[in-house]
Chains A and B, each alone.
Chain A
Amino acid sequence: MKVRIAPVAAIVISGLMLVSSLFYLFVQPERTLPTPLWAGGLLASIVLISASAMGLYRSDRTIWRFDRVICLIGDMVLSLALVLLITTDTLHPKGEITLVGLSAVFRHELVLSFLVLLASFLLIKDSINLIYRYNQRGREILVFTMIRLSAVFTLLLLGGILFLLLYKGIGAISWEFLTEPHIRLGQEGGISTCIEGTFWLVTGAMLISAPLGIGAAIYLNEYSTHTGLKRAVTIAVGGLNGVPSVVYGLFGLAFLVANFGLSLLAGSIILGLMNLPTIILTSQEALKSVPNSLREGSVALGASKWQTVRKVVIPSALPGVLTGLIIGVARAAGETAPIMWTAVTFSATPVHKIYGVVPDVTQPVNNLCYHLLNLIYFLGAWDVETNAWGTALVLLMLVLSLNIVAIVVRNHYRKKIAW
């Protein structure tokens, strides 16, 4: 059992060093480093690992293959070199390294933290190998731990984004912020016109993309017998799905702005076309999941094709289609590039409504994303940071709550419907 205590202790020490080096690397790059602690920790780990390797050598010689020995010795030498580097102060605290003309300075703290991170990882790897006597189980644990860390990273990323925006942005949110237009380049006032403009842009986009997208999906899935056409449409949809949003913006600039000017109409059309592939793909998916027996039953009762589609297929596929539509709304609300030159203006302009109901589609509108973009541009020059955080928070909440609704709708019906 003696063999096992030593590597476990080495893992604990190296783990602490790993965490602390990560902390210095990412959180506090300016603090003075705990270099004596790191040197001590490295030395202790090296001693523990060597001791347990010796112990293992005595009890079982067969596991010491040449490559394993080389690997272990290599790690030990690297760590020892790092200890020497720390203790002899070769990288003294003022040391700054510039590499071959790169426009960055690698400060002593940064390099050291990075090296300690690397070394402690290697030491942990060796310790785990020693505990499991170099069998496959040890390797598996090491790899699976790293794989699990990627999941942790993802959760931390989402949590971090949400926390940061809530923490910094919640102070800007107030009733006035949501109900008043912005004044003085967004330094004061709220974002009401931006919310209004985003609403109408998204509504316009959905009025275009929903019928076209669902219609296309129905045709492809229910009517089309011509495989060539189906293939061509599928390729086009795939292509449209990949077209970068800025290219949609260029297309809108060349095609729509020339005809309609900077206007709500142009922006809605562009956003609608951009959403088209998403809605076609999700609707097709939903239609595909409707079992053929339902269609056959309907046709057997004497219903025509369109009656079958309208009364049987569409209601059954509705949850899936709805999910796609909601995701489309979220995407349209969060896009900036396609509307930058086609539909928006920065100065506060409430949407002009004809008869108080229908918006005047020939006028440009405000937009949350575009407003945020401008506030980011003003960051250094004007006092807009609070309002920028607030705007970002409102935008994120809007988009994420739509996404959550989509997820809930889908999960709800997935559980409910069992064909």
Chain B
Amino acid sequence: MDPPFRRGARLHRKYGDRLVEAVLFLSAITSILVMVLIFYFLTYESFLAFKEMGLKAMLLGPKWHPAGDIFGMAPIIWSSILVTFIALFINILVGVPLAIYLSELAGPLSREVLKPAIELLAGVPSIVYGFLGVLVLVVYLERSFLMLTGRSILAVSILLGIMFIPALATICEDALRAVPKEFKEGSLALGATEWQTVRYVTLPAASSGIIAAVILNVGRIIGETMAALLVVGNVARLPTPLFDAFDRGAIFTSVIAGEMGEVAHGSLHYHSLFAVGFVLLVIVTVLNISADLVRSMIQKKFGEY
């Protein structure tokens, strides 16, 4: 039998523990709540624009012309597609080899140098990238291609491609490292060179992780704001010809960040910018979910190791 004072302490402890658990539970569901709130507010604020303009005219309209209250997102979507493709090309061109270097080739010393360097590079604020983009990249493009203004779809693609190299390399490296040693050793024992092993064994085995990383990076590229705002030129019209990456453009984030500052609260323009944000949010969320799906799908196909 417990003495009474001990029983009190135990009761106290029991309810104290319950209270702590409840508080922790609340903080755990905060993220669900925030996610729901974000979707709710963006839907709510953009609903009016979709209602006024019509869903089809809003998403596929060829003109974004705030002064005339015409808000068609086709130019924005098209520029974003162009930017995503070019940026992704640069991104993969450097990011995947970097990951291969880190996981397969680098000795302990070069890892010791390169890993922190990559982390620091990932930490550089996007506004600093934008600043350097304006003063270095844009100037370089103007000089080399005699462009009227270097602020262009190409400039933003190059900048974003370079910006997200660390992000891609880090995730790809993890994917490559997760490939079991036996795979590589088996291949090397069969007489394959190291490159053949990387090419035909390690890369295919890590493909799920790499594809997922690339999909996640697409989300990052179209979601990046400040760097894009400063070098994209912010002219929301379809380039002529359509694939003219040297023309100025406007992507989702740059339109929102560039125009939201001057817009009257509650106007159609205001709601249309929320609509742009809503489309962006939906795209990025779909990309995030599909990255997860790809990972699990390919894992199922190749089997867990």
Q: Which residues of A contact B (CB under 8 A)?
A: 25-26, 29-30, 96, 100-107, 110, 136-137, 139-140, 143-144, 146-151, 153-155, 157-158, 161, 164-165, 211-213, 215-216, 218-220, 223-224, 229, 232-233, 236-251, 253-255, 273, 276-277, 280, 304-306, 327, 330-331, 333-337, 340-341, 369, 372-373, 376, 379, 388, 392, 395-396, 399-400, 402-404, 407
Q: Distance (Å) between the CB of A288 and the closest chain B CB?
A: 15
Q: By CB atoms of chain A within 10 A, which of B193, B247, B284 has the most? A: B193
Q: Tell me whether A233 and B31 are in contact in the complex, defined as CB-CB below 8 angstroms, given that A148-B105, A246-B225, A372-B127 are known contacts.
A: yes
Chain B residues, CB < 8 A from A277: 31
Given contacts A276-B30, A340-B257, contact A335 B125 (CB under 8 A): yes
Q: Can you give 27 A-B contacts (C-beta < 8 A)?
A: A25-B144, A29-B140, A104-B146, A105-B145, A105-B146, A105-B147, A140-B194, A146-B97, A148-B105, A150-B97, A151-B102, A215-B23, A239-B288, A240-B34, A246-B225, A250-B260, A254-B44, A254-B45, A273-B34, A276-B30, A280-B31, A304-B17, A340-B257, A372-B131, A376-B130, A379-B135, A396-B124
A30 to chain B, nearest CB (A): 7
Contacts of B28 in A (CB 8 A): 215-216, 219-220, 224, 229, 233
Contacting residue for B225 out of A139, A212, A331, A337, CB 8 A: A337
Cα of A392 to Cα of B260 in the assembled complex, Å: 24
Chain A residues closer than 8 Å to B244, beta-carbon distance: 101-103
State which size class the interface on B falls in: 35 or more
| Cβ–Cβ contact A242 & B126, under 8 A | no
Residue of A nearest to B20 (CB): A306
**Could you say which of B29, B120, B226, B277 contacts A404, with CB atoms under 8 Å apart?**
B120
Q: A136-B196, A143-B195 are in contact. Are A150 and B98 (CB under 8 A)?
A: yes
- Flag if B120 contacts A223 (CB, 8 Å): no
Contact B281 A247 (CB under 8 A): yes
Residue of A nearest to B118 (CB): A154
| Known interface pairs A247-B38, A337-B253, A340-B257; 8 further A-B residue pairs with C-beta atoms within 8 A, sorted by A's residue number | A26-B140, A103-B147, A150-B94, A164-B136, A236-B31, A249-B257, A331-B123, A399-B124
Asked whether A236 lies within 8 Å of B35 as measured between CB atoms, the reply is yes
B120 engages A158 (CB within 8 Å)? yes
CB < 8 Å: which of B42, B123, B124, B287 contacts A247?
B42
- Known: A154-B98, A247-B281. Contact between A240 and B145, CB under 8 A? no
Interface segment, B52-60, B71-79, B178-186, B216-224? Answer: B216-224
B127 and A215 within 8 A (CB): no
Q: Is chain B's binding surface mostly helix, strand, loop or mixed?
A: helix
Min C-beta distance of A130 to chain B, whole Å: 18
A147 and B147 contact, CB distance less than 8 A: no
Instruction: Determine the distance from Cα of A242 to Cα of B219 in the docked complex, in whole angstroms.
Output: 7
Q: Quick one: given A136-B196, A150-B98, A216-B24, are A240 and B148 in contact (CB under 8 Å)?
A: no
Residue of A nearest to B27 (CB): A215
Question: What total of A-B pairs shows CB separation below 8 Å?
Answer: 288
Binding site for A on B (CB under 8 A): 13, 16-17, 20-21, 23-32, 34-35, 37-38, 41-42, 44-45, 94-95, 97-98, 100-102, 105-106, 110, 113-114, 116-121, 123-128, 130-132, 134-136, 140, 143-148, 152, 162, 165-166, 169, 193-196, 216, 219-220, 222-226, 230, 239-241, 244-247, 252-253, 256-257, 260-261, 273-274, 277, 280-281, 284-285, 287-289, 292
The answer to whether A29 and B144 have CB atoms under 8 Å apart is: yes
**A407 and B119 in contact, given A103-B148, A147-B100 (Cβ under 8 angstroms):** yes
Q: Contact at B37–A251, with CB atoms within 8 Å?
A: yes
Q: B42 near A101 (CB under 8 angstroms)? A: no
Complex contacts, A140 vs chain B, CB 8 Å: 193-196
B284 and A244: CB pair below 8 A? Answer: yes
B292 neighbours in A (Cβ, 8 Å): 238
Known: A242-B216, A242-B288. A336 touches B226 (CB 8 A): yes
Cα distance A146–B19 in the bound complex, in angstroms: 58
Evaluate contact between A161 and B124: CB separation under 8 angstroms: yes
Chain A nearest CB: distance from B80 CB in Å?
A: 12
Interchain CB contact under 8 A, B32 and A250 = no
How far, in whole Å, are A26 and B194 apart by their CA atoms in the complex? 33
Would you give the shortest CB distance from A342 to chain B, in whole angstroms? 11
Given the known interface contacts A148-B101, A155-B113, the answer about A247 and B17 at a Cβ–Cβ threshold of 8 Å is no
| Closest Cβ–Cβ distance, residue B292 to chain A (whole Å) | 7
CA A388 to CA B26, docked complex, whole Å: 43
Tell me how far the C-beta of B163 lies from the nearest C-beta in chain A, rounded to whole angstroms: 10
Task: Please report the C-alpha to C-alpha distance between residue A101 and residue B240 in the assembled complex, in whole angstroms.
Answer: 7
- List the 9 closest pairs (A to B, CB-CB), nearest first: A244-B223, A334-B125, A215-B27, A104-B246, A219-B24, A104-B145, A150-B97, A140-B195, A219-B28
Closest to B149 in A: A103
CB-CB under 8 A from B284, the residues of chain A are 242-244, 247
Closest to A150 in B: B97
- B101 contacts A373, CB within 8 Å? no
- From A103, A215, A248, A335, name the one whose CB has the most chain B CB atoms within 10 angstroms: A103
Query: Nearest Cβ distance between residue A364 and chain B, in whole angstroms?
Result: 14
CB distance from B242 to the nearest CB of A (A): 10
Q: Closest CB-CB distance, B98 to chain A, in whole Å?
A: 5
Q: Is B223 in contact with A407, judged by CB distance below 8 angstroms?
A: no
Cross-chain contact B127 with A395 (CB below 8 angstroms):
yes
On chain A, the residues within 8 Å of B252 by CB distance are: 246
Q: Which residues of chain B come closer than 8 Å to A245, judged between CB atoms?
A: 223, 225
